[in-house]
Amino acid sequence: MNLTENNENKAICSSEIDASCRLPLLALFGGAALWLVLGLALGIVAMLSFHQPDMFADCSCLTYGHAQTAANDLLLYGFVMPAALGVILWIFARLSQVTLVLPIVPVVAANLWHLGVFVGTVTILFGGSTGHPWLEYPRAAAVLLFAAFMLISVSAAATLGFRTHRELYPSHWFLLAGLLWFVWSYGTANLFLVGNHPPRGVVQAVIGWWLTNNLLFVWLALAGIGIAFYFLPKIVGKPLASSGYALFGFLTLIFFGTWVGIPPSAPVPAWLPTVSAFGALLSIIPVIALGIVAMKTVCCAKVPCVGGSFCFIKFGVLSFVVSSLLYIGEFCPRASRVLDFTWFNVGVTQWQLLGFAGMILCGAIYEILPRVMGKELPFAKLAKLNFFLFAGGTLLFVIPLLIGGVEQGMKLRDANIPFADASAVALKFLRISTTGQLLVLLGALCLLLNILVMTIQWKLGLVKTVVSVVKDSLIEGSAYQPLPGDKEAKS
């Protein structure tokens, strides 16, 4: 490509690269942390409906159907996506050994993205959801998200194009594929379902399932594992265990994983769920393969973990393997007969979003922020606390849902047990799970506080510099004036 420029850039040092990412990353991470806190809080508010069904009877905004939907979307579109995009930009710049290309573009894009999330959330709370799972944002919000994603992808791809090493690193495969993945699946689904002429009948649901799987399973895996494969070798100080295995995992993930999604009980032609069940079975391969690569990379590393980024990312990878296997299990016809339409499903999704993607992203953010800002985290202790709150909270949040879901499913299958009893079982577990949600929320507050204080410190620093520059020039200017002392001396 641009050879001369490449040669010039070789001399660039990491701190310059980091500094070039500062503005876009602050915009992406700051917003993401804020949405995470709001999303978790809204999720807890939604859960209150189960403990006190009359609570929001007069307040349409916070009724369960609104709050829960908005909360889910905030986690995926508000937190996971922008945070992942920020990390991707930084990784691409670091791997390319060049400063971020067009840094202003992702700054604009970040704001568009957050505007889109805001519009979408407000619309859902006021009853404007499209009614398609994970695609609830109305057209205006979807267009904003799509445009923002495209802009960030352009900046990322350009940064990749200027790389000094021609050969791609395994993280590149995952993250690059992730960029294409979202654009295509989100674009397609919106065109068909939120466009002017949605298809008739169950095709809508099939497209919805296709999208859900491609976002929640494949996209999250691409982004999360891509990021983990960058940081794990860095942290333990040795190369990724096996590029060959990683490639194998990557290819099997994109070729098999994308076929999952149609539940076995769906009222659609039988070949669709059958294909999905096969896809799910084959998807066990990449999950295990990627897990092994990560495990081999970190094993026998003498790096202490104590709540730092390493902990976050290790926990995230472990969550990836477990939550993916549970997710795949849901597509086994036998299991689905029990698990269909129970809290199990909810638990698995939250595990994927918070336990896997959220964990890895938090770890990555704590690793990146100090570099990008050129100073230590203001509350390093809170970052550690964040890990324990997240890890404990996620497990406490998710595991009761899984167990409660299985129990609920068993009871629902037996028509002699009244429906109310089957629900009552789940309610017991929901109480514990709401406690877990609270812990995760506290953890998210730690993240938000760190990012917020860093941003404010940095802005204050800017103001100080400006003030001192102005002061200097004033003083310089005042040199021409007689000093007060001179006056006195004269008089």
Partner 1 sequence: MKTGFSVFLAAFVALGLSWCGLVYGPLKQLGGAQETTVLQSTDKWPVQRTGDATLGLQVYRANGCAACHTELVHQTGAANVLTLTDIGVHKAADLKDFTTSLLGTVSELTTASNTVVANLAGWNGELPKVIYSGADDTVVSMLGDKFKAVGVKTEARVIATGADIARGWGTRQSVAADYLYDSPVQFGSLRAGPDLANIGVRAPDLNWQLQHLYAPRSLVKNSTMPAFRYLFTVKKIGAQPAPDALVLPKEFSPATGFEVVPTDEARQLAAYLVSLKNNAPLYEAPFTPITAAK
Applying the rule CB under 6 A, the residues between 22 and 51 that interact with ligand HEC are 49
Nearest to 298 by CA among 241, 359, 245: 241
User: In this structure, which amino acid lies at residue 14?
Assistant: S
Closer Cβ to partner 1, 22 or 163, answer by number = 163
Burial environment of residue 5 by CB neighbours within 10 A (0 to 12, 13 to 18, 19 or more): exposed
State the DSSP string of 269-299: -THHHHHHHHHHHHHHHHHHHHHHHHHHHHT
Contact flag: residue 64 with ligand HEC (CB under 6 A): yes
**Greatest extent of the chain over all pairs of C-alpha atoms, in Å:** 107
Partner whose footprint covers residue 96, from ligand HEC, partner 1, none (CB < 5 to 8 Å by kind): none
Among residues 57, 65, 126, 337, the one that binds ligand HEC under rule CB under 6 A: 65
Pick between residue 26 and residue 38 the one whose CB is nearest to partner 1.
38
Binds 427, which of ligand HEC, partner 1, none (CB < 5 to 8 A, cut-off by type)?
Answer: partner 1
Q: How many CB atoms lie within 10 A of CB 487?
A: 10
Number of CB atoms found within 10 A of residue 307's CB? 19
Please tell me the distance from the alpha carbon of residue 377 to that of residue 42, in angstroms, as a whole number.
Answer: 28
Of the listed pieces 179-187, 294-302, 321-329, 364-372, which binds partner 1 according to CB under 8 A?
179-187
Binding-residue total with ligand HEC (CB under 6 A): 4
Q: Which of residues 335-364 bind partner 1 (CB under 8 A)?
A: 337, 340-343, 345-346
Q: Between 41 and 70, how does the x/- string for binding to partner 1 read (CB under 8 A)?
A: --------xx--xxxxxxxx--xxxx-xx-
3-state secondary structure string across 316-328: HHHHHHHHHHHHH
Nearer to ligand HEC, 52 or 481 (CB): 52
In the range 239-268, which residues lie near partner 1 by CB under 8 A? 247, 250-251, 254-255, 258-259, 261-262, 265-268
Please report, as residue ranges, which positions from 400 to 459 form the binding site for ligand HEC (by CB under 6 A): 423
**Closest distance between partner 1 and the C-beta of residue 444, in Å?**
23
| Phi, psi of 382, deg, nearest 5 | -65, -35
Using the minimum distance from each CB to ligand HEC, give the nearer residue, 65 or 201. 65
| Burial of residue 404, with CB atoms counted within 10 A of its CB: 0-12 exposed, 13-18 middle, 19 or more buried | buried
Per CB under 8 A, 128 contacts partner 1: yes
Least distance (Å) from partner 1 to the CB of residue 352?
Answer: 15
